[in-house]
Amino acid sequence: MSKIVDTDLSHDRLEKLAKLTVATWDKDTLVEYARECLFQDYQYDIDRAVMDANDYPLTVEELDDA
């Protein structure tokens, strides 16, 4: 069996690899990864962060205490 190299990984293969990888994770790992991805997204898309923040009935002070 030959090793996979970067040029082997098409869009479809990357999607399949992601599905296989996530399928092996436990719930804590999945939640931590989601949290990290959202944080990174929020840093680069503040409008999305504001929209998501406003989905919760929180004040800024309540968010600080959450």
pLDDT tens for each residue of the chain, 66 residues long: 889 999 999 999 999 999 999 999 999 999 999 999 999 999 999 999 999 999 998 899 998 998
| 57 is a domain residue | yes
Which of 18, 33, 1 has its CA nearest to residue 9?
18
In whole angstroms, give the CA distance from residue 31 to residue 12: 24
| 13 is a domain residue | no
Domain of 40, in residue numbers: 25-66
| 31 is a domain residue | yes
Domain count within the chain: 1
What is the reported pLDDT for 16? 97
| 58 is a domain residue | yes
pTM, rounded to two decimals:
0.69
What is the reported pLDDT for 66? 86
What is the reported pLDDT for 1? 81
What is the reported pLDDT for 33? 96
| 37 is a domain residue | yes
Which of 42, 44, 22 has its CA nearest to residue 32?
22
Question: ∠61-49-44 over CA atoms, to 5°?
Answer: 125
